[in-house]
């Protein structure tokens, strides 16, 4: 028997605006069935994917009446998340002290780059800055230069997903104890946590503190990307000896002496050159077909347009064309409480009346907020 909507059905979360990692956290929770209410600024615009599965309340948090209304809404919520610079929520009258005093079981999630304290807490920054000082940017790139890994490591993996995990942990604690708390999710901390395996290797002497010098950073010929004749690429990841053997078999290199010792670093430059020459002889799709069905751990590097059409992804429904656009589907998957196909992102203010009514405001109260411009119903 399955129960629709996802494992967080029955949990209500208030998301106080924000961009990037905060909305991604809200999306993760909403995808799993939580009732996530996003507080948008009147006149703001939304994101078509990150804001999916929400309800939207457009209200001015700089107006006293707006803050009072939001406080009433918080009383009906299990969690709040915000991504302001430290101290901003307190100045608005929506800090954790005020909200926890009114709702002791509340979980209050805070998403920042540097954290709520420390010398850089009030300094502006972006993903690239946070992962730089976390030690996560330095190992990624060419031997000469680090290369930003989009904003996946700081904003999303070390940020929004970390906060979603932290909120869920704190919600479990609140469910068993009735006691809420503050979750301080800093992207610099999250990026550092993602480096756990690498720091373990460093401590045991199996990782060199330089780029393109290790098994997983492009130095090894069996774990890197190769350019093909059509300027597209193949990803090679045959680390284990049996997979390396399968890789060599496809390429006809099984008996080649240059490839006899997989982990002999002195042979890596020669192997690199040979493999670059071989892959450059044919287009990517030729190699993709050759490696299909083998244990060589070698796959095509797909573009954003190609990935949703790849047979494995279409079989699992990893991407779908829904709400007028191709987007990734909710993950992970659950057998008893599966998530639904995402609902479209709301227009900012689309649910203002209903959300405020849920908070206990009367029709007259809501009309007053809308007539004064404090709240917007779109």
Strands 298-300 and 319-322, sheet pairing: unpaired
Q: Residues 32, 55: one domain?
A: yes
347 located within any domain: yes
User: What pLDDT does 10 receive?
Assistant: 96
Name which of 266, 270, 288, 267 is nearest 279 in CA terms. Answer: 288
- Domain CATH code at residue 284: 3.30.1540.10
What residues are labeled active site? 126, 155
Q: Residues 156, 234: one domain?
A: no
Q: Residues 299, 325: one domain?
A: no
CA dihedral 118, 120, 126, 129 (to 10 degrees): -100
Q: Residues 118, 29: one domain?
A: yes
Q: Residues 104, 235: one domain?
A: no
Name which of 92, 59, 69, 56 is nearest 365 in CA terms. Answer: 69
Q: Residues 176, 284: one domain?
A: no
Length of the chain: 378
218 located within any domain: no
Query: Residues 126, 202: contact at Cβ < 8 Å?
Result: no
CA 310, distance to chain mean position in Å, is: 22
Q: Residues 152, 50: one domain?
A: yes
Q: Which residue ranges of the chain lie beneath pLDDT 50?
A: 1-3
User: What pLDDT does 323 receive?
Assistant: 84
Name which of 59, 128, 57 is nearest 374 in CA terms. Answer: 59
Q: Residues 257, 301: one domain?
A: yes
**Which residue, of 313, 346, 361, is where some domain finishes?**
313
Number of structural domains, the chain? 2
- Domain CATH code at residue 348: 3.40.50.10540
User: What pLDDT does 3 receive?
Assistant: 46
201 located within any domain: no
290 located within any domain: yes
Q: Residues 289, 229: one domain?
A: yes
Cis peptide before 93 (omega within 30 of 0): no
The token duo for 185 is 């999710």
**Which residue, of 313, 335, 354, is where some domain finishes?**
313
User: What pLDDT does 4 receive?
Assistant: 52
204 located within any domain: no
> What is the distance between the alpha carbons of residues 311 and 331, in angstroms, rounded to a whole number?
18
216 located within any domain: no
Instruction: Give pLDDT tens digits for 332-377.
Output: 999 999 999 999 999 999 999 999 999 999 999 999 999 999 999 9
206 located within any domain: no
Q: Residues 21, 120: one domain?
A: yes
Residue-range definition of the domain harbouring residue 301: 225-313
Q: Residues 104, 237: one domain?
A: no
Query: Residues 213, 140: contact at Cβ < 8 Å?
Result: no
Q: Residues 229, 293: one domain?
A: yes
pTM, two decimal places: 0.95
Query: Residues 148, 76: contact at Cβ < 8 Å?
Result: no
**Which residue, of 281, 297, 313, is where some domain finishes?**
313
279 located within any domain: yes
């Amino acid at each position: 028997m399955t129960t629709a909507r996802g494992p967080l059905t029955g949990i209500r979360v208030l998301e106080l605006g924000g961009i990037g990692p905060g909305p991604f956290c809200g999306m993760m929770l909403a995808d799993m069935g939580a009732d996530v209410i996003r507080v948008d600024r009147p006149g703001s615009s939304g994101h078509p994917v990150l804001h999916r599965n929400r309800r939207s309340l457009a209200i001015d948090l700089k107006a006293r009446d707006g803050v009072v209304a939001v406080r009433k809404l918080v009383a009906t919520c299990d969690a709040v998340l915000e991504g302001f610079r430290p101290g901003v929520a307190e100045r608005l009258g929506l800090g954790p002290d005020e909200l926890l005093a009114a709702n002791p079981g509340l979980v209050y999630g805070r998403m920042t780059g540097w954290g709520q304290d420390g010398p850089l807490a009030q300094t502006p920054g972006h993903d690239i800055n946070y992962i730089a000082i976390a030690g996560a940017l330095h190992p990624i790139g060419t031997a000469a230069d680090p290369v930003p890994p989009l904003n996946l490591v700081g904003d999303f993996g070390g940020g929004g997903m970390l906060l979603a995990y932290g909120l869920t942990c704190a919600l479990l604690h609140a469910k068993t104890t009735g006691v809420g708390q503050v979750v301080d999710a800093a992207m610099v901390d999250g990026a550092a946590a993602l480096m756990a395996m690498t720091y373990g290797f460093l401590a045991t002497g199996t990782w060199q503190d330089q780029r393109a010098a290790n098994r997983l950073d492009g130095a090894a010929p069996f774990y890197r990307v190769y350019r093909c004749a059509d300027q597209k690429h193949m990803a090679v990841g045959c680390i284990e000896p049996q997979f390396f053997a399968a890789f060599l078999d496809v390429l006809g290199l099984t008996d080649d002496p240059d490839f006899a010792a997989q982990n002999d670093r002195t042979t890596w430059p020669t192997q690199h050159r040979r493999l670059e020459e071989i892959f450059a002889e044919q287009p990517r799709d030729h190699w993709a077909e050759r490696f299909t069905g083998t244990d060589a751990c070698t796959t095509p590097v797909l573009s954003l347009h190609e990935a949703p059409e790849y047979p494995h992804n279409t079989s699992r429904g990893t991407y779908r064309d829904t709400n007028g656009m191709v987007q990734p589907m909710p993950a992970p998957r659950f057998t008893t409480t599966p998530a639904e196909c995402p609902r479209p992102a709301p227009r900012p203010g689309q649910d203002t009346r209903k959300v405020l009514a849920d908070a206990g405001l009367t029709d007259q109260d809501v009309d007053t907020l809308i007539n004064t411009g404090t709240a917007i119903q779109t």
